[in-house]
Structure 1
C-alpha cells in the first residue's frame, strides 16, 4: 500500500505546538511503516509569522522559523496550499485565539480538515456552531476536538458514540478541571488555607497567573457547554448556572491582586464550607448536566469520600456518565494526571490528526 501524505498546517508553536512537532518527528518512521501515513508540516505559524516550506531547506524547524518566517494571512495560507497542490490538509489550531476560529469556515470551504485544542469555535453562538457543521457536511470535511475536554482520554468520543448509538444519556457530572481538582483534593485532606494551596498550584504551573476563568467557573462552564452541544442541545453559555468561587467583593478587572489582598475572605468562606460538611465528605468543584431538567450547573458540592468524585487524588479528573439503560450506575471515566500536561495535550492532538488521516485513507480507498 502506498504511503499517504498528510499536510498539517500548524497554527501555534508555543509549548503545545512545539511538543506536537517533536512527537511527530520522533514517530514519523513508525507512522510510515505501520500506518502508511507520512505527516508533514508545510506551514507552521505563531500569532503573526509563518514559515512556508521551501525546497532544499533541511534545517531544524526552530531554526527555519527563526530565519525564514514572514507575516501571514489566512488567505495567504489558503493560496499557498492551492498553488502547491497540497492535498489531505489538516489545519491544527493549537492556540487559544478567538480570531482564528472565525476563519474555520473559509478553511473548510477550501479543503481543510480541522483539529483543535482551541475551545472557542465550540462555545460561541449556536448559530456559528451549526454553520461550521453545515459546511463540514457540505464539503465532506472533518473537525475533531477531543482535547477541548480532556487530553489523556477520549471522553468526547465515548459520549458521541453513546449518543449516536441511540443510548439515552440522562446526566453527566464530574470534576473537569485538573487544576481545581488538585486545589480541592489538597484542601480537603490538609489543614492549609485555601489561598496557600492556590499559590502552590500557581507555582507548580497548574494554575495560570491570571486564574479568573478557573476560579470564576468559566473554564468548567466552557467544557460543560461543549458536552451539552455534543448531545444535540442548543445551549448557550448564558444558560449555564455558574456558582463562582469568588465573592462579589473579590471580582474586578484586577482580580489577582485583589484576591491576594482579601485572601482571608475566600479562606474563611471555604473553611466554613469545609468544617460544616457531613462526616466523611469532601469539597469538590463540579460541572453537571441534567438532561431531564435541562439544567447545566457549575458549583461547589460536598461529596462522599467513597464516590468516584470523592476519591480523586492529585490533579485527577473524572466524568460520570449516566444513561437510561444503566440507571443510577454511571459509566466512570478517569482523567490521567500522571504525565506532563503539555505532552498529554500534544499527544491528544496527534491522536485526532491520525483519526482524520484514517478517514482520508478510507475515502481514497472507496474512490479507487
Structure 2
C-alpha cells in the first residue's frame, strides 16, 4: 500500500486535477490519496467566515466564487450524462456551507467550533469531486472521510491528535474498506464527541503522515508544485538547486524555519518509524524529486539549505533586575504560553541582563501588553525596562547536519552578510548545532538569501549588480566593453556583471534581471525622469547584493552623492574627479565611509585614464615609501592639443578636434584653464599623504582673459579663434629655442604648481606623443632615477577600460 498527498496547487483547477488523476492511475498498488482544498479555497473560506461574522455582505461574493470553482471542475471533468447526481451532491454541501455563513452573519459571531466546520468544506468538496472523477474513468475508487479515523481533542483550529485511538482506527478502517484507490480529505479530523476539528497549518501533510505511520509503510509521497526541496526559495533565489537527499533532522530544521515545501507536523509521525518522505512535482512527474530519510546525504557541503521566516517581531526584555535573579525566564515564557503565543527564536545575553526573542508579528501587541503587566512591579521600580518591540523582522537560517564541528561556516555566513550591509539584530545557534539563525530586517531578506546562497552553494562566481550613470562617450564604451568581455570574465575570473540600472541626464531605467546591453540604445522606451535622489532611492529599494554605482559623468551634483551610496555599502567607481579634488574634508570623509561600510571607492581613472597611476601610489605608500617630488604631464587632451598645434592651423580648430575625439571635458575651458590638471595633481598629492586644498596649488594661466569668461564650449572655441595670434606667439617662442609646449604639473619641496612650460629636447617629456600622459615619481626609494609611468591618458575607450578595471577589481576581491 502507498500513501500520497496532493497540495492545493496540484488540485487548483480541472487541468491540474487531470494531472493528478493520471499520476494516481499509474500507481500499480493500492493507494491512499490525501488531497488539500483547491488552491485558494481555504483562504476564501476564512475570509467569508470573518466577513460574515462582521456582518459584511461581501461574504456572499466569496461563497459564489467557491461555488463557481467546484461546479466548473465537475462540468469540466465528469461526462455530461453522469453530472446530475454529482452536481446535486456538491450543491447540497454548498447549501450547508451557505447556511453556516448566513448563521454567522445573523448572529455576528464566529466560534472556533463553527470556524473549523466552515474550513472543512474545502477538503470535503475537493476529495468528493476527485473521487467521482476517478470513478467516472472506471477506477476502483472510494471516498474516505478522515474524521472517521483521525481523533483529536476539542482544541478547535489546531487540534491535538490522540494517536493511541487514531492508529488503531486507521488500521481497522482500511482493513474494513479496501479499494484500489481511496481519496481522503486532508486537514480534517473529529473530536471524541464527533465534532469536526482541523489540524492547523500543514494539516493535509500531517494527515498523510499520520496514515502512513499508522500503517507502517516504507515511504510517503508529497506532490506539490516544485520538484523537491530546494537549497533556498526558488522564487527568491533563482540559482536555488534541488536537494536530492536530506536527513530528517535537516528537513525538520528547514521546515521549522519557513521552507514552504514541508511542514514540521508532516515529519513528526513518520520520523520515529523511519518512514522515508519523497517530495515530487505534479507538473513534472518524471523529475527525481527530493528524498528525506534517516540516513541523509554524503554531500561534503556542511550546509544543506538556507531558509527564512518573515512577518516577525523581535522583543527584548532587559534591565539590571534580571541579573542573577532566578525564575525570570520562567515568568516571561510562561505568560507567553498562557496567551498561546509561540516563541520562534530565543537568545540571552551571557550577563543575564537581557532576553531577546522573536514571535509572529500579529502577536506583538498582545505579547507587549501581557509582558509589561507581568513585570509591572519591576518596571515601576526601574529594575526592568518595558519590553521593547521591533517590527518588520525576519529570521534567516543556515541549516545542515554537519555544521556541527565544521570550522568557518558562521564566519562565511556573517562575512557575506556584512559585506552587503545587512544588519544582524540577533543571533542564535540551536543546541543540535544544525542551524545558525539570525534576525534581520525583513527588507533585507531577498538580498540575504541570495548572498548566502552564493557563498555556500554556487560555483565561486560573484555577481556584481551595476548602476551606471552616464552613457555618453565614456559610458557607451564602458557598456560595450562589458558586452564584449562578459563571457570571459565569468569563465576565467568568476565574475558575472549585470547592469541593473542606467541613467543619462534626463532619464533613468532599471531592470532587476539585468539589461541586454546590446539592445540599450534609447532610454525613452523604459525610462522615467532622472533625479539624483530618485536614482539612489531605487537602488536602495532594489537592495541587491554586491551593488556598484558607476559614475561616468563630470558633474559636481553626482560627485556630492557618493557618501550616500557608501553608507549603504554600495561600491562607487568613478572617473569624475570632482569628489576627490573637492575639499580635503570631503575626500577624507569618502575614504572613511568606504572603510567603515566595507564599500570600495575606486577612482583610478581620475588621473591618467586607464594608466595605473593612483594604484601605484597606493602601493608605494602602503609599502612605507614616501613621495617627495612629482613631475607630470597629466592632461592627455592638452598634450594632444599642443602636439597637434604647429602654427599652420588655428589653435581653436585643434581644440575643437580634441573635443570631438572625446579627449577634453565637455567644456574644454576646464582643461585649458589648468583646472583639470590642478585637480589631478591634488589627487596625486592626497594619495601621497599630503594635506592639500585647491588654493594650495598655483596655476599659471596661459589663456587670454577673453577666453576665461566663456560660458560654454562653443563660445570658448570662438574666443580662442579670435586670440590666434597669442597662441601662435607661444608656439613660435618655444620653437625658436628648440623646445615644445607642455602643460606640466609639479610638486617639489612641498610646493605645487601647474603651468605651460617650454620643454627642451633632452627632457623625458619632449617626445611625449599624441594624448599620452607621463608621471615621474621621486621617492625615498626612487631618488636619482624616478619611477616613470607613461601611456595614453585620454579618450573614451581608455577611460572606459580604466573604469572597467576598477569594477573587475571589486569582483575579484569577492571571489
Q: TM-score, normalised by structure 1?
A: 0.87
- Structure 1 residue 28, shift from structure 2 partner: 1.0
Alpha-carbon distance between aligned partners in 2 of 1:135 and 1:27, rounded to the nearest angstrom: 31
- C-alpha separation in 1, matches of 2:535 and 2:771: 39
1:144-182 deviation per Cα after TM superposition (whole angstroms, max 9, x unaligned)? 011111123201111111122111211111211122212
Q: Give the distance between the partners of 1:240 and 1:326, measured in 2 at CA.
A: 24
Match of 2:772 in 1: 316
Task: Work out the CA distance in 2 between the residues paired with 1:65 and 1:239.
Answer: 43
Corresponding position of 1:264: 725
Among residues 754, 778, 785, which one is paired with 1:329 in the alignment?
785
Distance 1:67 1:256, change over 3 A: same
CA apart distance, 1:306: 2.6
Q: Say which SS state the counterpart of residue 179 (structure 1) adopts.
A: helix
Q: Aligned equivalents of 1:331 and 1:164: distance in 2?
A: 16
Q: Distance in 1 between matches of 2:513 and 2:465?
A: 15
Distance 1:97 1:341 in 2: 18
* Structure 1 residue 64, shift from structure 2 partner: 6.8
Task: Flag the 1:263–1:32 CA change in 2: closer, same or farther, 3 A.
Answer: same
2:624 to 162, 166, 174: 166
1:296 paired with 2:757, answer no
Aligned to 1:239: 696
Q: Is the 8 A contact 2:610 2:800 kept in 1?
A: no
For 1:336-355, what aligned pairs fall within 5 Å after superposition? 336=792, 341-355=795-809
Counterparts of 2:753 and 2:764, CA distance in 1: 19
Asked if 1 retains the 8 angstrom alpha-carbon contact of 2:651 and 2:720, the reply is no
Aligned mates of 1:348, 1:147 — CA distance in 2: 6
SS of alignment partner, residue 637 of structure 2: helix
| Candidates 115, 124, 141, aligned match of 2:582 | 124
Aligned to 2:594, what secondary structure does the other structure show? Answer: helix
CA distance 1:179–1:79, change in 2 (3 Å): closer
Contact 1:7-1:89 at 8 Å conserved across structures? yes
How far residue 250 of structure 1 moved from its aligned partner, in angstroms, is 4.6
Q: Does residue 1:213 correspond to 2:681, yes or no?
A: no
Are 1:49 and 1:72, in contact at CA under 8 Å, matched by a contact in 2?
yes
Answer whether contact 2:652 2:721 (CA < 8 A) is retained.
no
CA 1:85–1:162: 2 relative to 1, 3 Å: same
Alignment partner, residue 7 of structure 1: 465
The number of residue pairs the alignment matches comes to 350
**Hey, what's the Cα distance between the residues in 1 that align with 2:516 and 2:668?**
41
Q: Which moved more, 1:265-274 or 1:165-174?
A: 265-274
Determine the structure 2 residue equivalent to 1:202.
Answer: 656
- CA, structure 1 residues 220+75, in 2 after alignment: closer, same or farther (shift >3 Å)? closer
Structure 2 vs 1, CA of residues 197 and 153 (structure 1 numbering), >3 Å: closer, same or farther?
A: same
For the Cα contact (< 8 Å) 2:745–2:754, is it kept in 1?
yes
Partners of 2:769 and 2:581 lie apart in 1 by 29
CA distance in 1, matches of 2:799, 2:674: 21
Structure having the higher Rg: 2
TM-score w.r.t. the length of structure 2 is 0.41
Deviation at 1:201, TM superposition (A): 4.3
Partner of 2:425: none
Q: Does 1:306 align with 2:767?
A: no
In structure 1, the residue corresponding to 2:690 is in which secondary structure? Answer: coil
User: How far does residue 72 in structure 1 lie from its aligned partner after superposition?
Assistant: 4.0
> CA, structure 1 residues 10+56, in 2 after alignment: closer, same or farther (shift >3 Å)?
closer
* Equivalent position of 1:285 in the other structure: 743
How big is each residue's C-alpha offset from its partner over 1:318-352, in whole Å with a ceiling of 9 and x where there is no partner?
11111122223111111137xx8211111111100
Any unmatched runs of 5+ in structure 1? 362-368
Secondary structure at the aligned position of 1:286 is classed as strand
- Stretches of structure 2 that go unaligned for 5 or more consecutive residues are 1-458
Q: Distance in 2 between matches of 1:245 and 1:274?
A: 17
Change over 3 Å in CA distance of 1:84–1:250 after alignment to 2 = closer
